[in-house]
Structure 1
Amino acid sequence: MDRIAAIKGREILNAKGRPTVEAQLITERGIRVTASVPSGTSRGKYEAFELYDGETRHNGRGARKAAENISTEICRALAGMDVADQEAIDRTLCRLDGTPDKHRLGGNALLAASVAAAKAGAASTNQPVYRYLGQKDIRPALPDILATVIAGGVFSTSGMEFEDYMAVFHGFSSFPKELDALCELRFSLEKALRGRYGDFPEDGGALAAPCASSREAFRWILDTAESLGYAGNVSLGLDVAASELWEPDRGVYRMGEDRCLSTSQMISYYRGLCGEFPLTLIEDGLDQDDFNGFAELSGALPGVQIVGDDLFATNPERLRKGIEHRSANAVLLKINQIGTVTEAIKTARTASEHGMDVIVSLRSGETADDFIADLAVAVGARQIKLGSPVRMERNVKYNRLLEIWQELGM
């Protein structure tokens, strides 16, 4: 047994230049690990609370209070605990905070400590993290890739109505070949779009090209895949982020200045897209509170992955409600939505036990921590959503998956 000797927090910057927290955990036998947590730009209302300072620094979004909570209350609570007892550590963290959404100490503070403990626990047992956290009777396998290649939505300058236009990769003989295909597609797509539109910004590595419509964006992705010989291995995915479009007072989704759609009209719109394109995945197609609407959407599009992100918020209780309503057939797993490793794994296992796909995802405000690559393998995720391979906070995770592939001899 190796016990936690100390855990220290500090404020660092994420990929968007905004503060987040990092935890360094030290065990009595001298193991030292660090863990840093991301933050999201588009956040559902059921996510764990991110604690910020509220001062003038960084427009109130400094993270020194959360870092201090790691170094003080969290350190005192975890000191002396067996570093390999992840469930006990995470129970202690949740009880210490004592709030449903982890707002007292901050979900960001709790998650940094939880991930650090998982890394140290793996090191103390001489295992890679994916084996340490995985089910012992299941052979690890690598997930397929989802990648946002064209950006839209309310947080983008492109003017596109939806948030993420994704390439969905499948059917490759190995993970390295799949990653090669992503890299080729991303760079070829950029060349084609810049040839058509000239200069435009990127958004987290995705191309914020001012396409005229979702249909045009889809055609660019498919034409590029076909030109590279990947037509049979690339389909389309769409992250709608529909809660950003929902106007509850009017009961409509605003799709532009002069266009509003009801729930049934949105479902008809998706049905039309799926009939016209190989659209095999729709994430957050309706508002985060509309479990019944999601069930209707799932029934209308058999064979399409209907993914709950804000709908479930990586929360086991919300997932169980979704299972009762048959709202979706896939769950997006974002560990900072729930705040501890144990709760995230519980969500993943509950989904798998009910025949749902698990998709592990990064956040827009990522860090250079590669933990979720191991987590995706540990929970048997069907897919992983890491974005375009042009930024190092994404590529450290792709590179870790390559390393795992080599370790597994696949």
Structure 2
Amino acid sequence: MEPGGDRQQLQRLGREAAEYYRSHEIPQRLEEALNTLFLLRPTDLYGDLANYFSKFAKAPVICKLVGRKVLDGVGRPTLEVEIYCIIKNYEKRICSTVISSHSQILENALPEATEADEKERNDSVNTAVEWVNESLNAMLRDLKPTDQCNIDKILSEYFIRKVEEKKEIQKEGEEESTLSLPSCVPSATGLPEGKKATTIGKKVPGAETTIPPAEPIESVLCGSLAIGGTSLAIAKAGATISDIPLYLYIALLKRNQDSPKEMTMPLPMVTLLNCGKFSPGKLKLMKEVMLIPPVQLSLKQSIERALDIQREMMKLLEPTCKGQPSPQLADRKKGSARSTGKKVLPAAMKRISHLGCLITGCDNLEQPLLLLQTACNNIGLELGTDMYLAINCAAHELIDYHKGKYEILTGTFRSPDEIVDMYVELINKFPSIIALVDPLRKEDRKQWNNICCALGSKCFLIAEDAATSISKLIPDQDINLPQCSGIVLKYINQTKVSDLIELTGLLDGQRHITILGSPDGESSDDSLVDLAVGLGAKFIKLGGLSRGERVTKYNRLLAIEEELAKNRTLRFEASLEFINFAEETQPEQLFDLLPLPKQD
């Protein structure tokens, strides 16, 4: 039969079928589908027919959650969550996510503390796996993975129930222990004179200075990883089902499905040196020395520049050959950099920290800064123009509650007021420092106000330790933080995607900048980068340019930037904006670091 005859026969059969189904009251959509056959070539028939009917297929729903114990980047156990959905009547694995461990790396810890930490972590991960495979698996079955808000609400209610259950168990345990106490136990008033119970963070006998006591450490509910891991896995599944990148999916959730016309990339805070409390040398104050690129550089240019500085820094720290001293740092004050011998140099260490950077020891505040300054000068770069600095002070790790002071160097202490003056002097001497992370404890609110007024117009003053519990920051639409420029958010424990969206919305409206940061126990999952881009974070703090779990995230940053540039939706910031806290009644002052780069 001729090709034209095939077409005529198909048309005739289509009309007969349509007439038959019309007489038998088949739904109108099926009739419309059959009528489209008249326009099809025989070779297109099956594919186009399948595509047409796929529009009316049932939306994908969750059919199974799988939780399992895996290892993070430093070999500690953590949680992986897999999502399976029913798509066109078939069960299909959609995605998985690995959530980072909440606990910090214990440096130089006693064996007992390390053993207790490992047991606590194992118990938490095992409980989280049980929650995912049993309770959450049953609760979320048949729900749409694109319904993030509703699923996060269910997760939140489940977590609250678990918290209440734990409180009831603790209450019963306390009542039983009280009833079992013998009547001859002396009361608190029976303690010998002068022997009073002490509480961590409160003034103790012999304390030199009265300081605000430390806020109680928030306990982490065993198994809470299941909440954060499941919420993030659901977001990834929703993005996969919607056939869009996770960063765009997060942006749509934050903007109520209003697609952004342009998106900016967060500036990376690249850690180059770890020279804090647990490293060799007298210096305790600077836990991390980080690089921040200027706004006009692309991420690719920024990372290449940071790598150049890192390579030059290694040359300065490592001897060129056996028995020969290392190249010396420039000492601009004395003008005798090369005659001061090894005394000027920090002690070089041939190991990389869990943060992905070089561990080195320094004996004063200026040594690491001079090291970076020399490295930049040697390769033709200038600090304060071609690259900027940020310091993670981690002041909460340095406080001596007996003295009421911070131990900035071994045996050298500063009161909260004195340390503010020290920061002012340091920034005036090194104006290339544009961010201080945790310069004070969160309890020293008076000093936070003082340092914001003194330095707020010159650099960012960031709270990281104060923002470890995201759920406590948002209950009353008010952020329980000391006065600061912004905060570092970490996706850990019971944090949910909806929490991040809500909190970053509040931060945007209150002049705070948002920084997404990696925890100590980082995994190879790169979802944190998509969260940072989708939420519009100003900075992202990933650690150094070593260790696979951290380099993976830098590679994801590069891939997203390339994709946005290709789609012509990439926008560069015109400048970095600081807040002049000393002039609250006046509009915010802008401090233009670098102009907007020219576009091709």
Aligned residue-pair number: 400
TM-score w.r.t. the length of structure 1 is 0.90
SS of 2:473's equivalent?
helix
2:275 corresponds to 1:152: yes
Q: Does structure 1 residue 234 correspond to structure 2 residue 387? A: yes
Query: What is aligned with 2:264?
Result: 141
Letter in 1 for 2:501: I
Deviation at 1:131, TM superposition (A): 0.6
Q: CA deviation at 1:392?
A: 1.1
Aligned 8 A contact 2:104 2:521 in 1: no
Give the superposition deviation at 1:309: 0.8
Change in Cα spacing, 1:245 to 1:175, as seen in structure 2 (3 Å) is same
Q: What letter is aligned with 1:203?
A: S
Does residue 218 of structure 1 match 2:369?
Answer: yes
- 1:336 is paired with a residue whose SS is coil
2:127 pairs with 1:65: yes
State the 1:337 CA deviation. Answer: 6.0
Who is 2:312 aligned against? 188
CA contact (8 A) 1:241 1:285 kept: yes
Residues 204-232 of structure 1, C-alpha deviation per residue, up to 9 Å, x if partnerless?
22111122223110111122223333321
The answer as to 2:428 corresponding to 1:275 is: yes
Partner secondary structure for residue 270 of structure 1: helix
Q: Distance in 1 between matches of 2:564 and 2:277?
A: 41
* 1:84 and 2:155 aligned: no
* Residue 352 of structure 2: aligned partner: 202
Instruction: Flag the structure with larger Rg.
Output: 2
Question: Which string of whole-angstrom CA distances, capped at 9 and with x for unpartnered residues, describes residues 321-378 of structure 1?
Answer: 9868761111111111652121122222211121221111112211110001111110
Look up the match of 2:182.
none
- Aligned partners of 2:275 and 2:348: how far apart in 1? 17
Aligned match of 1:109: 226
Kindly indicate whether the alpha-carbon contact (under 8 Å) linking 1:151 and 1:158 is maintained by their aligned counterparts in 2: no
The aligned counterpart of 1:46 is: none
Q: What is the aligned partner in structure 1 of residue 245 from structure 2?
A: 128
Q: Residue by residue, what CA displacement relative to the aligned partner does 1:38-70 show, whole Å, maximum 9, x if unpaired?
A: 125549xxxxxxxxxx99894443122222221
Is residue 168 from structure 1 mapped to residue 292 from structure 2 by the alignment? Answer: yes
Consecutive unaligned residues of structure 2, counting only runs of 5 or more, are 1-58, 106-113, 165-217, 320-325, 327-346, 571-600
Distance between the aligned counterparts of 1:322 and 1:236, measured in 2? 31
**Cα drift, residue 35 of structure 1:** 0.6
- Residues 1:374 and 2:530 are matched in the alignment: yes
Which amino acid letter does the alignment assign opposite residue 358 of structure 2? L
Matched AA of 2:229: A
In the alignment, the residues of structure 2 paired with residue 7 and residue 214 of structure 1 have an alpha-carbon distance, to the nearest angstrom, of: 50
Structure 1 residue 398, shift from structure 2 partner: 0.9
1:401 equivalent in structure 2: 557
Question: What is the TM-score of this pair, normalised by structure 2?
Answer: 0.62
Task: Give the alignment of 1:289-304 within 5 angstroms.
Answer: 289-302=443-456, 303-304=458-459
- Report the aligned-residue RMSD: 2.6
Partner of 2:544: 388
SS of equivalent to 1:208: strand
Aligned pair partner of 1:35 in 62, 77, 97: 97
Higher relative contact order (CA 8 A, sep 6+): 1
Does residue 21 of structure 1 match 2:79? yes
1:218 partner letter:
L
* Aligned partner letter, 1:222: Q
Percent identity at matched positions?
23
Change (3 A) 1:344 1:224: same
Aligned to 2:108: none
- The AA in structure 1 aligned to 2:149 is E
- In the alignment, residue 361 of structure 2 is paired with which amino acid? P
Change (3 A) 1:74 1:160: farther
CA distance in 2, matches of 1:167, 1:377: 19
- Indicate yes or no: 2:497 matched with 1:341: yes
Counterpart Cα distance in 2 of 1:372 and 1:384:
9
